[in-house]
Amino acid sequence: MYTEIVPDCSKATLQGVIRGKVSLDSVIHSENWRGYNGLVDLGYRKHLRVDHGSDEFTSGSSHINGSEGFRGYAKMRLAGFRGMSKSTFYLHVKECEFRYNYRGKNIYKILLKFFRNKPPF
């Protein structure tokens, strides 16, 4: 999972983020938001969609359960703060991203290894 706070959900903004993080040989699964239009024209191999507006939550083997799972996880985790400063929101979201990506693993050991390889001081 990768998170980024964007200024808007326009096609240009979303495609810029996707181009910067997703390799061209990837198969992209998304909802039917118009901001995702044109990804195949940019060179992506395949773009599969589900149309939540028509009560479609899976289309063959295509679904976005991973991103919806993350969204639910982050909402539950962030709700426990009962509000937060706008200036720290990004850090909280990135922490949720890290915890979600390493769920089921020993985060303590992962952080120890990271800090041994890249000490903060």
Q: What is the pLDDT of residue 55?
A: 62
**85/76 Cα distance (integer angstroms):** 17
Residue 117, judged by CB atoms within 10 A of its CB (0-12, 13-18, 19+), counts as exposed
Q: What is the pLDDT of residue 45?
A: 84
Q: Find the Cα–Cα–Cα–Cα dihedral 74, 80, 81, 83, rounded to 10°.
A: 80
pLDDT in tens, 38-65: 888 888 888 888 766 666 565 566 556 6
Helix then strand count (H, E) for the chain reads 4, 2
Q: What is the pLDDT of residue 107?
A: 92
Residues 6+ apart with CB under 8 A from 116: none
Query: Strand, coil or helix: what is 5?
Result: coil
- The reply to whether the predicted model has a pTM over 0.85 is no
Low-confidence residues of the chain, pLDDT below 50? none
